[in-house]
């Protein structure tokens, strides 16, 4: 525990040094961010060691009188600390080469906000009482808001930061109510006291739903996802990587802590609620990602999709646990924990790759990019690894998590509920559709940005990533490969966590079959050998190269691509981001709010435009805004501006209180 706190304190020291070197960009970039990366690496190692160590507790003399900070390091918090250290290491290394001009805010101030955000997330994972949890949770939120608002001179950026701030604090109110229910009038808000309470099913359900809403605001669960596609384009790319790579995961940690640790019972319909909301989130996220024309907004909606799949895994774990099927619950929990690490690796990689593209070209619009693999090969190959992992293709990490998730659905036929046995296979079919559309979105992302011809002449001036940025790429790409090639070994690491949460695990079974083979439960039903698959791919590639090399250059012919007989071939004849997403837009048109701007016959330069919006705004948020405005107008009538009226209000309230106390 002390070593972990030293690593967290290191981040806080780096944050204070950033304030001291407010505008010394080179010092901040080349000294402070690498120091932050070293602290992240130390935390990652300590977290991995803590998974296998005993549970440790500590009380810090911080906070208010009688309300110190209680800390606890168990296998669950240790695992999430390891993932946080993994993300912090890679993003900090990349940031050492990225922050050259401060992104609209002095580099030292960004360094302060960034490392405070990392430290507060670590303390959220260590918190062992509701008070310290909420203090660190709010610190994480506020520091993340300031990071999103780095380019504060832009009205769009300020709006995105305010939206994130508002939704997060509504969620924080729900968490306060959740902890209030969990303490059950005991007045003791330590997690040990909350674990000792045995709530009735109705009160436990209320606490679960409040936690689902509160943590759902941070995770981007439908329909609370609206801040994600606004905040990611506004924030600097390393900040987007941290937001998507781990800030979203703090919500999953909170749900696991509340649902499987603090609550003593799990009900089957909790799993159904999480499953349905996760499925809706995943489907909405992946469909919207396929039609985006902004590369960071595309990745933001892709993160919504990934979070939805994680809540699907959470729902399955709750469902199996409620029926006492602990082994299957451990399988679903393993899927969720695998998704946490896998998504943290490949989505951080994709966001920092877009950051390099943005720095080199000044463009986020897919319609103005293209052909960058010629000028930015390091960025292109890193983005390709991230895109393949995100698309769920073997032998990378994304395939393992999606394959295990689908395997989890194959075992739901044993549920003692006829309706669920019929409905869950349909959910599995939708999951397969989501996986296919995710691959479609990644093909669009990589193909439009890096392949083909440059759509703008100035793209030829783009320069590849520097040494620090390349090191960040290599870190995350290696993690994507290792998680994909060594799944059985990694599942053995997760075994301690699943035993803590559901009382069962898969690690022993995985160890018995060796590190080469991954079989969820029964190798006779399904198994996967990633190393053998990789060797097969390498053999096919080598055979293809040998055949082509033997034929020699005589079999090769270089010519311009065929353009249907049109002689003046140019970059505008390539498929566009809008055209690529049009089939999906037509198929899923009821999900979108579409505005078509038709040209007038009198326009000298007619233009046809289509705007696609999220229906969540008119369905859920616009009515709330109107209701709030009406309530504010009604309350405003009380402000008559006359002292006699205010005294009359006070007198009426006093009389009402006296009458209430008397009775």
Q: How far apart are CA 648 and CA 484, in angstroms?
A: 71
Which residue, chain included where needed, has tokens 């360094």?
A: 111
Output the pLDDT for position 324: 84
Backbone angles phi, psi at 595, to 5 degrees: -120, 120
Whole-prediction pTM value? 0.90
- Helix axis angle, 487-502 relative to 33-52, nearest 10°? 70
Question: How many CB atoms are closer than 10 A to CB 570?
Answer: 10
Q: How far apart are CA 388 and CA 544, in angstroms?
A: 21
Tens of pLDDT along 72-129? 999 999 999 999 999 999 999 998 888 766 556 788 888 899 999 999 999 999 998 9
Length of the chain, please? 663
Output the pLDDT for position 556: 64
Tens of pLDDT along 584-624? 888 787 777 777 666 666 666 666 667 777 788 788 888 88
Q: How far apart are CA 375 and CA 188, in angstroms?
A: 60
Q: How far apart are CA 157 and CA 234, in angstroms?
A: 5
Q: Is 62 helix (H, G, I), strand (E, B) or coil?
A: strand
Question: How many CB atoms are closer than 10 A to CB 617?
Answer: 13
Output the pLDDT for position 89: 94
Q: In sequence order, what are the beta bridge partners of 613?
A: 593
Q: How far apart are CA 387 and CA 180, in angstroms?
A: 43
Token pair for 432: 């397969």
Q: How far apart are CA 296 and CA 283, in angstroms?
A: 19
Q: Indicate the burial class of 627 (C-beta count within 10 angstroms; 0-12, 13-18, 19 or more).
A: exposed
Output the pLDDT for position 553: 53
Spatial CA neighbour of 608 closest among 621, 620, 617, 595: 595
Give the start-to-end residue ranges of the domains of the chain. 266-547+575-592, 619-663
Residue 562 DSSP label: P
List the chain residues with pLDDT less than 70.
100-104, 411-414, 507-517, 519-527, 550-557, 563, 567, 596-609, 640-641, 662-663
Output the pLDDT for position 118: 93
Q: How far apart are CA 306 and CA 438, in angstroms?
A: 9
In order, the DSSP letters of 564-622 are TT-S---GGGSPPHHHHHHHHHHHTGGGEEEEEEPPPTT-SS---EEEEEETHIIIIIH
């Amino acid at each position: 525990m002390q070593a972990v706190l030293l690593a967290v304190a290191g981040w806080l020291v780096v944050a204070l040094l950033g304030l001291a070197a407010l505008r010394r960009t080179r010092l901040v970039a080349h000294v402070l961010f690498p120091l932050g990366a070293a602290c992240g690496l130390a935390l990652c190692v300590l977290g991995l060691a803590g998974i296998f160590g005993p549970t440790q507790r500590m009380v810090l003399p911080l906070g208010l009188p009688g309300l110190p900070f209680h800390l606890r390091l168990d296998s669950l918090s240790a695992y999430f600390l390891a993932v946080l250290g993994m993300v912090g290491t890679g993003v900090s290394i990349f940031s050492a080469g990225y922050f050259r001009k401060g992104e609209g805010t002095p580099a030292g101030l960004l360094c302060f906000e960034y490392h405070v955000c990392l430290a507060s997330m670590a303390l959220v994972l260590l918190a062992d009482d509701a008070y310290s949890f909420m203090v660190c949770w709010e610190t994480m939120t506020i520091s993340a808001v300031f990071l999103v608002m780095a380019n504060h001179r832009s009205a769009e950026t300020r709006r995105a930061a305010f939206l994130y701030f508002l939704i997060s604090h509504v969620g924080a109110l729900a968490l306060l109510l959740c902890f209030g229910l969990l303490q059950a009038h005991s007045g003791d808000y330590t997690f040990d006291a909350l674990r000792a309470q045995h709530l009735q099913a109705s009160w436990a359900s209320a606490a679960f739903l409040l936690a689902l809403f509160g943590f759902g605001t941070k995770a981007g669960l439908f329909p609370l996802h609206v801040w994600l596609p606004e905040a990611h384009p506004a924030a600097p790319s390393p900040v987007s990587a941290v937001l998507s790579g781990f800030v979203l995961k703090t919500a999953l940690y909170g749900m696991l802590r509340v649902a499987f640790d603090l609550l003593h019972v799990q009900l089957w319909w909790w799993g159904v609620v999480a499953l349905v909301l996760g499925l809706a989130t995943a489907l909405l996220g992946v469909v919207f990602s396929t039609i985006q024309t902004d590369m960071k907004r595309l990745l933001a909606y892709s993160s919504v999709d990934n979070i939805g799949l994680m809540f699907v895994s959470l729902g399955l774990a709750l469902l199996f646990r409620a029926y006492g099927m602990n082994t299957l619950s451990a399988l679903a929990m393993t899927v969720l924990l695998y998704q946490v690490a896998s998504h943290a690796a490949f989505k951080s990689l994709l966001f920092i790759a877009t950051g390099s593209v943005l720095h080199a070209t000044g463009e986020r619009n897919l319609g103005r990019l293209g052909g960058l693999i010629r000028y930015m090969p390091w960025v292109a190959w890193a983005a390709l690894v991230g895109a393949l992992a995100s698309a769920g293709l073997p032998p990378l990490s994304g395939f393992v998590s999606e394959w295990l998730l689908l395997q989890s659905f194959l075992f739901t036929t044993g549920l003692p509920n006829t309706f669920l046995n019929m409905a869950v296979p349909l959910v599995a079919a939708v999951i397969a559709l989501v996986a296919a559309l995710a691959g479609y979105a990644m093909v669009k992302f990589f193909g439009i940005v890096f392949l083909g011809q440059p759509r703008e002449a100035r793209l030829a001036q783009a320069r590849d990533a520097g040494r620090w940025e390349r090191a960040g790429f290599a870190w995350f790409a290696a993690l994507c490969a290792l998680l994909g090639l060594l799944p059985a070994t990694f599942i053995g690491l997760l075994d301690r966590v699943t035993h803590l949460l559901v009382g069962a695990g898969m690690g022993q079974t995985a160890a018995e079959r060796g590190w080469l083979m991954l079989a969820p439960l029964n190798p006779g039903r399904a198994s996967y050998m990633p190393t053998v698959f990789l060797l097969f791919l390498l053999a096919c590639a080598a055979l293809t190269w040998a055949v082509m090399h033997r034929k020699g250059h005589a079999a090769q012919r270089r010519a311009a691509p065929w353009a249907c007989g049109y002689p003046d071939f140019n970059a505008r004849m390539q498929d566009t981001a809008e055209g690529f997403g049009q089939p999906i837009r037509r198929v899923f048109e009821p999900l979108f709010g579409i505005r078509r701007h038709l040209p007038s016959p009198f326009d000298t330069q007619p233009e046809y435009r289509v705007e696609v919006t999220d229906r969540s705004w008119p369905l859920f948020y616009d009515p709330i805004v109107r209701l709030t405005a009406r309530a504010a107008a009604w309350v405003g009538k009380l402000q008559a501006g006359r002292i006699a009226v205010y005294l009359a209000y006070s007198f009426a309230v006093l009389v009402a209180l006296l009458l209430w106390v008397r009775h």
